[in-house]
């Protein structure tokens, strides 16, 4: 007897359903896509019990005839393509003809549909893939599909469904995506009878984004418009660099109106932000790519969430350049003469208000808040003990001769003090800061210090990477001829830099200086250490917050004016689940009407300016899988996120006392060598390795 059997249609559909129907949101995705393909002007999504009990999608699209309504549930039944040639230019969202068949094989489905002007429509009932009933009914033009008891006949899949809150979150996020992609369609999402999103027909993306995210979010957005019709037109919005997320959840990416998760596009987006956002921090984005249909393959994944570009590199370039141009137009990057760009956004210092000059920690209550605010006005922290002013952006753009000439003309290091005063005087605004920087360059010459490594090192760094291309992916522009002393390729001992085992960290670490205003260079008995200042402070704060959970004595700072925060529909679904946790750490939050939350107080360490970003991040990342996860895990995530936002950032000058303070505190934490996300906080280069690098025996 033959061992091989052809599977029944029903089984084949259930297997296909495994790929197409992962969770309620993926059912909703297929149905909403069908409604859009049917030319709907209005789509209503109704959800009960996170979509397990009920999912109903109604549209006013073109509808189906009786025959089509029955045929639609057949596997590989589609009205959208007919020949293999059609596959190379797909203009509809659907084309595989397997969604309805798959969904109907794992749920109880009812379809009611009618064409324009027909006296009667059709109702089709189908359960677990078996057609139950086909009847005429009355309804206006359009289609309503009701999906009940998802996975009722596939217990194994049912087990993988997450909590109701998690599934609701995914559903809300899905509807949000499609609503953004189609401002011309009205959307309503109702969850357990409560309306969680309502968006009337909008004139454009901006209006739609306003309906969904509120005015505030919009204020922080920069408009993107670029690329070219042959490769990809890029449009939409990206966030100003002050909006910082530690996940990509606030990135909405679309290719030809299709919501996609695309590595290439998100990487190109990140590249656009290089120099204005530190590594590991992500912008928010609503990015739309219009790519010629034959240039993109959408038939890569059964759920159609991935695409493949024929000219991937060109698409990435278009995205990166469009984002870069938007940042430049917003004044966040400037194109320099050599074609290179520099960041111009001043680093706000209020993050650091939590460690004062003497290294004492934390401000709390009203006084602290006031002080945090006044310190935040200072555009640039002056390292007290070095007696020099860090070079400004303009100086960094000078050639080394100019730089040297200027340094030589100014041997008097005391000038830096008066310069510091001049700087803080008129400061407080971006313009103020820029004015001063310009003055520094044009008018009053700047004190420099031979100790200052920045200029020389950057130059040499560029030289080095040009000469040896250590990274293999170096793109820094070649320095102008003769602008720096030529150095032959240097040997690298990069491989000798190692993460540090906890046992080997002793208390005799001495900080020397800062590299790139981001890494503390220190020494101990065994050699040289590099300490990531952000990771170190994150670890310190994380440990502190974890202790708070037991003592429940969070210090908070009342905001003078409560800040309001508009939740996205997805965030609103997450809010109720995490609000309690957030209060443990010192937040005081109040849910106002609709999707608005008022922030009345924030944890003492958290700069008020970061509160909004942190909240957005927690709501987005503590979502989903994680809310299904143990409470303990969730607490940890909230604490890690809070620590990350409250911690000092990279590109922050630190006085030596602050470095010492940071190291002392770090050594007293539960895990001094890693940040709460598990990345290393300390790297070591042993004296032995240095000796080896110099070929000393
Ligand atoms: P696909 O979308 O890949 O064609 P589906 O299984 O999702 O496959 O749908 C099968 C067919 O049913 C579609 O091609 C379309 O003709 C029809 N259809 C599905 N949903 C709707 C709808 N909401 N309005 C009109 N026609 C629909
Ligand atoms: Mg479809």
One DSSP character per residue, 465-499 reads HHHH-SSS---PPPPPTTSS---PPPP--GGG-EE
Highest mean pLDDT among 2-11, 338-347, 536-545 belongs to 536-545
Q: Which of 34, 58, 71 to mutate to test the pocket of ligand 1 (most atoms within 8 A of CB)?
A: 34
Q: How far is the CA of 33 from the centre of ligand 2 (A)?
A: 6
Q: How far is the CA of 400 from the centre of ligand 1 (A)?
A: 66
**Sequence-ordered list of residues with C-beta below 8 angstroms from that of 559, at least 6 positions apart, any chain:** 369, 599, 600, 601, 602, 608, 611
pLDDT tier for residue 323 given thresholds of 50, 70 and 90: very high
Of the two residues 540 and 627, the one the predictor is more confident about is 540
Q: CB–CB of 122/64 below 8 Å?
A: yes
pLDDT at 316: 94
pLDDT tier for residue 564 given thresholds of 50, 70 and 90: confident
Q: CB–CB of 298/248 below 8 Å?
A: no
Rounded to whole angstroms, how far apart are CA atoms 274 and 276?
5
Statement: residue 272 has pLDDT above 80: yes
pLDDT tier for residue 392 given thresholds of 50, 70 and 90: very low
Work out which ligand 1 atom sits closest to the CA atom of 77: 10
Statement: residue 504 has pLDDT above 70: yes
Strands, E, within 262-355: which ranges?
285-290, 296-297, 308-309, 333-335, 341-343
Statement: residue 246 has pLDDT above 60: yes
- Count of positions (residues) in the chain: 697
- In angstroms, the first-to-last Cα distance of the chain is 75
- Taking only the tens place, the pLDDT of each residue in 4-32 is 887 777 777 777 666 678 889 999 999 99
Q: Which of 174-188, 486-500, 522-536, 651-665 comes out lowest in average pLDDT?
A: 486-500
Q: Which of 405-409, 424-428, 641-645 comes out lowest in average pLDDT?
A: 424-428
**Sequence-ordered list of residues with C-beta below 8 angstroms from that of 252, at least 6 positions apart, any chain:** 176, 177, 180, 259, 285, 286, 287
DSSP 8-class letter at 367: H
pLDDT at 475: 40
pLDDT at 628: 54
Work out which ligand 1 atom sits closest to the CA atom of 59: 23
Q: Which of 279-293, 381-395, 631-645 comes out lowest in average pLDDT?
A: 381-395
pLDDT at 423: 34
Q: How far is the CA of 402 from the centre of ligand 1 (A)?
A: 68
**Span 233-240, average pLDDT:** 93
**Span 595-613, average pLDDT:** 85
Residue of the CA atom closest to atom 8 of ligand 1: 97
Residue of the CA atom closest to atom 18 of ligand 1: 34
* Locus of tokens 């089984």: 11
Q: How far is the CA of 102 from the centre of ligand 2 (A)?
A: 11
Q: Which of 72, 141, 298 to mutate to test the pocket of ligand 1 (most atoms within 8 A of CB)?
A: 72
∠21-245-236 over CA atoms, to 5°? 70
Work out which ligand 1 atom sits closest to the CA atom of 99: 6
Highest mean pLDDT among 251-260, 361-370, 481-490 belongs to 251-260
Counting ligands in written order, the one closest to the CA of 142 is 1
Work out which ligand 1 atom sits closest to the CA atom of 92: 2
Residue of the CA atom closest to atom 2 of ligand 1: 94
Rounded to whole angstroms, how far apart are CA atoms 131 and 109?
10
Rounded to whole angstroms, how far apart are CA atoms 388 and 451?
9
Q: How far is the CA of 80 from the centre of ligand 1 (A)?
A: 8
Of the two residues 358 and 174, the one the predictor is more confident about is 174
**Sequence-ordered list of residues with C-beta below 8 angstroms from that of 587, at least 6 positions apart, any chain:** 556, 599, 601, 602, 603, 611, 615
Q: How far is the CA of 43 from the centre of ligand 1 (A)?
A: 15
Q: Which of 291-295, 377-381, 548-552 comes out lowest in average pLDDT?
A: 377-381
Work out which ligand 1 atom sits closest to the CA atom of 63: 25
**Cα 224 vs. chain centroid, distance in angstroms?**
17
Q: CB–CB of 611/585 below 8 Å?
A: no
Q: Closest Cα partner for 82 from 66, 101, 67, 97?
A: 97
pLDDT tier for residue 164 given thresholds of 50, 70 and 90: confident
pLDDT tier for residue 478 given thresholds of 50, 70 and 90: very low
Q: How far is the CA of 94 from the centre of ligand 2 (A)?
A: 4
- Residue 77 tokens, joined: 């039944």
Distances (CA, A) of 226 to 217, 315, 325, 517: 22, 11, 8, 34
Q: Which of 62, 75, 78 to mutate to test the pocket of ligand 1 (most atoms within 8 A of CB)?
A: 78
pLDDT at 313: 92
> Is 347 buried (19+), middle (13-18) or exposed (0-12) by CB count in 10 A?
middle
∠51-53-59 over CA atoms, to 5°? 60
pLDDT at 621: 67
Statement: residue 579 has pLDDT above 70: yes
pLDDT at 505: 79
Residue of the CA atom closest to atom 27 of ligand 1: 34
Residue of the CA atom closest to atom 14 of ligand 1: 78
Q: How far is the CA of 114 from the centre of ligand 1 (A)?
A: 13
Sign of CA dihedral 374, 380, 383, 387: negative
Q: How far is the CA of 300 from the centre of ligand 2 (A)?
A: 15
Highest mean pLDDT among 328-342, 439-453, 587-601 belongs to 587-601
pLDDT at 18: 67
Work out which ligand 1 atom sits closest to the CA atom of 57: 23
- Residue 323 tokens, joined: 């984002």
Distances (CA, A) of 44 to 120, 135, 195, 203, 571: 22, 23, 11, 19, 20
Q: How far is the CA of 663 from the centre of ligand 1 (A)?
A: 62
Residue of the CA atom closest to atom 16 of ligand 1: 79
- Residue 479 tokens, joined: 């320095």
pLDDT at 335: 58
Which residues surround ligand 1 with Cβ inside 6 Å?
30, 34-35, 38, 59, 61-64, 72, 77-80, 94-100, 143
What residues are paired with 532 via a beta bridge?
519
pLDDT at 622: 61
pLDDT at 17: 67
Q: How far is the CA of 105 from the centre of ligand 1 (A)?
A: 16
Q: Which of 31, 37, 61 to mutate to test the pocket of ligand 1 (most atoms within 8 A of CB)?
A: 37
Work out which ligand 1 atom sits closest to the CA atom of 35: 23
Highest mean pLDDT among 196-210, 296-310, 558-572, 671-685 belongs to 196-210
Q: Which of 146-160, 201-215, 254-268, 398-412 comes out lowest in average pLDDT?
A: 398-412
Counting ligands in written order, the one closest to the CA of 75 is 1
pLDDT at 486: 64
């Amino acid at each position: 007897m033959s061992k091989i059997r052809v599977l029944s249609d029903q089984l084949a559909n259930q297997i296909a359903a495994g790929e197409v129907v992962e969770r309620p949101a993926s059912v909703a995705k297929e149905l909403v896509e069908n409604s859009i393909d049917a030319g709907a002007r209005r789509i209503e999504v109704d959800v009960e019990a996170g979509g397990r009990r009920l999912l109903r999608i109604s549209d006013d699209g073109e509808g189906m005839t009786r025959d089509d309504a029955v045929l639609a549930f057949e596997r590989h039944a589609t009205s959208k393509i007919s020949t293999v040639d059609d596959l190379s230019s797909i203009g509809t969202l659907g084309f595989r003809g397997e969604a309805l068949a798959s969904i109907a094989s794992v749920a109880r489905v009812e379809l009611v549909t009618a064409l324009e002007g027909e006296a009667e429509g059709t109702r089709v009932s189908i359960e677990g893939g078996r057609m139950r009933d086909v009847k005429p009914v009355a309804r206006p033009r359009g289609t309503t599909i009701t999906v009940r008891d998802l996975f009722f006949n596939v217990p194994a899949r049912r087990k993988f469904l997450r909590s109701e809150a998690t599934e609701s979150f995914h559903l809300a996020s899905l509807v949000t995506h499609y609503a953004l992609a189609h401002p011309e369609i009205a959307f309503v999402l109702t969850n357990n009878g409560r309306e969680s999103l309502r968006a009337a027909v909008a004139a454009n993306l901006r209006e739609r984004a306003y309906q969904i995210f509120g005015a505030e979010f919009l204020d922080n957005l920069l408009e993107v418009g670029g690329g070219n019709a042959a490769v990809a037109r890029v449009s939409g919005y990206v966030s100003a660099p002050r909006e910082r997320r530690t996940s990509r959840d606030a990135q909405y990416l679309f290719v030809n109106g299709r919501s996609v998760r695309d590595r290439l596009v998100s990487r190109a987006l990140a590249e656009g932000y290089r120099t204005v956002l530190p590594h590991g921090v992500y912008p928010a984005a609503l990015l739309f790519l219009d790519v010629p249909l034959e240039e993109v393959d959408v038939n890569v994944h059964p759920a159609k969430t991935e695409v493949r570009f024929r000219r991937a590199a060109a698409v990435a370039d278009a995205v990166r350049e469009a984002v870069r141009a938007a940042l430049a137009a917003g004044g966040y990057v400037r194109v320099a003469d050599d074609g290179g760009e520099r960041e111009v956004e001043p680093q706000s210092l209020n993050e650091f208000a939590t460690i004062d000059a003497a290294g004492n920690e934390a401000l709390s209550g009203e006084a602290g808040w006031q002080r945090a605010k006044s310190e935040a006005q200072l555009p640039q922290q002056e390292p007290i003990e070095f007696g020099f002013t860090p070079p400004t952006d303009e100086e960094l753009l000078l050639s080394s001769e100019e730089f040297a000439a200027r340094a030589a003309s100014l041997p008097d290091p005391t000038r830096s003090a008066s310069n510091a005063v001049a700087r803080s005087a008129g400061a407080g605004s971006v313009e103020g800061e820029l004015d001063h920087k310009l003055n520094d360059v044009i008018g009053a010459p700047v004190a420099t210090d031979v100790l200052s490594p920045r200029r020389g090192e950057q130059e040499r760094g560029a030289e080095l990477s040009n000469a040896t291309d250590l990274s293999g992916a170096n793109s820094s522009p070649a320095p102008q001829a003769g602008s720096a002393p030529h150095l032959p390729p240097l040997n690298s001992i990069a491989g000798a830099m190692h993460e540090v085992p906890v046992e080997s960290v002793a208390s005799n670490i001495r900080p020397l200086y800062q590299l790139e205003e981001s890494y503390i260079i220190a020494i101990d008995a065994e050699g040289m250490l590099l300490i990531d200042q952000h990771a170190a402070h994150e670890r310190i704060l994380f440990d502190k917050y974890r202790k708070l959970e037991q003592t429940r004595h969070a210090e908070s700072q009342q905001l003078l004016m409560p800040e309001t925060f508009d939740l996205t529909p997805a965030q609103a679904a997450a809010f109720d689940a995490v609000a309690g946790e957030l209060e443990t750490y010192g937040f005081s939050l109040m849910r106002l009407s609709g999707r608005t939350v008022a922030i009345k107080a924030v944890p003492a360490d958290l700069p008020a300016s970061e509160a909004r970003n942190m909240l957005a991040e927690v709501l987005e990342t503590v979502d989903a899988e994680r809310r299904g996860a143990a409470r303990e895990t969730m607490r940890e995530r909230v604490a890690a996120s809070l620590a990350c936002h409250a911690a000092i950032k990279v590109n922050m000058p630190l006085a030596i006392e602050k470095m010492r303070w940071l190291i002392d505190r770090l050594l007293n934490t539960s895990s001094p060598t890693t940040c709460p996300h598990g990345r290393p906080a300390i790297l070591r280069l042993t004296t032995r390795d240095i000796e080896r690098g110099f070929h000393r025996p």
